[in-house]
Every structure is written in C-alpha cells, then in structure tokens.
Amino acid sequence: MILDRLENAAMYRALGPRIADALDYLRLTDFSKIADGRYELDGDRLVAIVQRYRTKPLAKARWEAHRRYLDVQYVVQGVERMGYAPLHDRMKVAQPYDAEKDLVFFDTPGDLFEVAAGSFAIFGPQDVHAPGLVGGSPPRVRDVLKVVMKCRVA
C-alpha cells in the first residue's frame, strides 16, 4: 500500500506503465467537469471510475481485495478515512471471490488512515482495503469526489 499526494506522483512512475498512465490521467484531468461513471482509457487494462458519494461509518466498512487489478484511489474533493490490512491466507472470507467483479470481501480488522483532497492511495492485490469511511476533523459524514483507477496486473 502507498499513500501520498498527487504532486509527488512522478516518483511512482517506475512502478509500471499502467500506474504511470493512471497517475498522469489523474494529474491532467479536471474531474469537476467529468460525470460519474466508468471510463475505459486502455480497454480493460486501465479504467477510471469517477464517483461522488457520502462517506459511511466504520460499522458499514466492507474490507475488499482484488486479484486482477490494483487500485489507485484519488480523493479529488473532500476527505475520507480508508482501512488497510495486508492479505494473508488466514483471513476470514466474508464473501467469496467473484471473478466477474474481481472482488472478494473479508471479515477483518485493519489500520485506518485519512486521505484528504489531493492525496491518493495505491492498493495492490496483496492489500485488503476499506474505502469511503467517515473521516476528517471532526469526524463526520462528508461529500467526496473520488476517482478510482483500475490498473490490470494479471
């Protein structure tokens, strides 16, 4: 898992061409003019998901992981808390892997951290994560504009 500000994105370009393309797209796009939805930038190899929503309480967290994609989650506006736990084979599966959605849910605790506007988190297939949680100071439900870049790795 990586957490950083978009102005530091250049240092992560070496992680691979899809991550570099994803970070470039985030840096160069005015998302205030982009409608919510799924945008294929390089077929299914690089996809942008633009979403506006209200954060949810920790009690409603869904701890998820992927096998074929890594996520670059960029908070454009607002602030949210995200959860992270390293994937291991003893984790209790809450909902089995769905290959069509590339998604498995776990029943696990993890660490929480704030992601403010202008920041991104990168979650690989080895990273269980819980996005979209109530955060900020003071913690409260907030409106968020976020872009999730799906980068195919398998």
**pLDDT tens per residue, range 107-145:** 998 999 999 999 999 999 999 999 999 988 888 899 999
What is the greatest pairwise CA distance in the chain? Answer: 44
pLDDT confidence of residue 154: 82
Cis amide bond preceding 86, omega within 30: no
CA-nearest of 127, 119, 125 to 26 is 119
Question: What fold characterizes domain 2-152?
Answer: Jelly Rolls (2.60.120)
pLDDT confidence of residue 77: 97
Indicate the pTM of the whole model.
Answer: 0.95
Confidence of residue 13 (pLDDT cuts 50, 70, 90): very high
pLDDT confidence of residue 136: 81
What 8-state DSSP symbol labels residue 25?
H
CA–CA distance, 52 with 23 (Å, rounded to integer): 19
Tell me what the mean pLDDT of segment 85-97 comes to. Answer: 95
